[in-house]
Structures are given as C-alpha cells and as structure tokens.
Amino acid sequence: MASLEGSPVVVAVIGSERTDGDTAAVVRSCRGHLEERGIRFETVVLAEQSMIPCGPCGGCNFRDSHCEIDDDVPAIVDRLISADGIIYAVPVHGFGTASLLQTFIERAGVGYLRFERPLANKVGGVIVVGRRYSHLDVVSQLYHNMMLNRMLLVGSGFPAIFSTETGRPPLDDAEGVVALEAMLDRMAEAIWLLREHEQAFGRTMRVPGSKERAS
C-alpha cells in the first residue's frame, strides 16, 4: 500500500471502559477499509486518558474562555480539530451512552467546542454496540451532538449498530458489518470531495454563526 502521509485523517473516539472489548474490536475493523480508500485512521481510547467529569464550578455558564480543568480533554479536542472525519464508537450502558463518552461530550462541548464550533464540516459517523436495546437512542443522541457541532453526517442506509445478544462477537453481526462498511465508504467519499472542493475553490463550506448564546 502506498504511503498515506498527507492523506485525510479519520479519528475514532472509543467510549468503552474496556480497552479490548467489543467496541474496540469493531473499531479495529475500520482501519483496513479506510486505508484502502486513502484515509489514515487513528483512535482515541478514552479509558486510557485522564478525563475529569464536569464539576460544580458553573464557570462555563458565564466564562468566555476554555475550561480550566487540567487533564487530557484539550489534547483530544485538538486531535479532532485536526482530523477530517470523526467517529464516535460506544457501547450501550444502562439504556444510554456509556459514561466515558458522555463525560467527554459534556467536557468538550461546554468547555471547548461551543465557542467557535471548530468541528464544523468534519464528516461524522457513529458506531453503537450492545445487546438488543437502546442502540437507536444512543445513535440519535450522538447524531444530534454532531449536528450541534456543525459536522456533516452522510446517509449510508442503516446506522452502524452491532448486536451482541447471546454473547456473540459483534463482527458476527453481518448486517452490522454491511452498515459499517457503507458508512465508512460514504465518509471517505465525502472527505475526498470536500478536500477537492477546498483545493479547487480555496474555501470550505460556509457555516452559520458559531455561538448559540451570548455567555
């Protein structure tokens, strides 16, 4: 395979507490598929990062500057800003989004992203893994978060959800694999089209005003 240096980058944020569980297995399967389409693939494993939950300070409600908590969240945000595409990959816990990814969404959103919406025009994708309940609830939450950040969601048929009921490995879910590969194909195609557009016209897609509230 030719060198991918200088190629577009997709970063997958893994929100499972298990670093080598079902969600990680699905994410690993993305690498070859994207690299065949000229896309570099990187991962952020939240379980390996220092990430402090939002506290009672309330500063984000009035401060017009980034969060002052000293941990790995700003470095993760910087990686997402530098990427061309972003995937949120998470298991279903308690009928909702697993706590690590929820914590990151809260910290990144109110602490960094709401000021300038720097993830605007990143191509977004979602992977959800769980038994047989609440997959679509989690997909919906993450889609809404990506749209809040002005990211671009590309329709690819069914969402990339994986059922692990009866203890089967997630990649044994044939329909899930088909949906995942369709999502990756559409993400890669959109990323390349956006890059070609920017090179041809010297600008990216316009976005509306960055802030939803004055403070």
Mean pLDDT within 176-180? 98
Residue 4 domain flag = no
Within-domain flag for 96 = yes
Question: Which residue, 39, 102, 51, 105, is CA-closest to 75?
Answer: 51
206 within some domain: no
Provide the domain limits for residue 148: 9-52+63-201
> What is the per-residue DSSP string for 75-112?
HHHHHHHH-SEEEEEEEEETTEE-HHHHHHHHHHIIII
Q: Give a yes or no: residue 88 inside a domain.
A: yes
For 43-84, how does the pLDDT look when each residue is reduced to its tens digit (9 = 90+)? 999 999 999 998 877 777 677 888 888 999 999 999 999 999
Measured CA to CA, the distance from residue 67 to residue 136 in angstroms comes to: 31
Cβ distance 132 to 165 under 8 Å? yes
Gyration radius (Cα) of the chain, Å = 17
Residue 167 has pLDDT above 90, yes or no: no
Q: What is the tally of structural domains in the chain? A: 1
Within-domain flag for 170 = yes
Confirm whether 113 is domain-assigned: yes
pTM of the model: 0.94
pLDDT at 67: 85
Write the CATH number for 17.
3.40.50.360
**pLDDT for residue 213:** 56
Q: For residue 215, what pLDDT is reported?
A: 45
Residue recorded with tokens 């970063």: 11
Residue 185, both tokens: 């194909």
Q: Is 161 domain-assigned?
A: yes
Is residue 112 in some structural domain? Answer: yes
For 11-37, what is the mean pLDDT? 97
Q: Between 65 and 195, where is the model more confident?
A: 195
Q: Give the mean pLDDT of 133-150.
A: 97
Cβ–Cβ under 8 Å, residues 26 and 89? yes
Is the per-residue pLDDT at 181 higher than 70?
Answer: yes
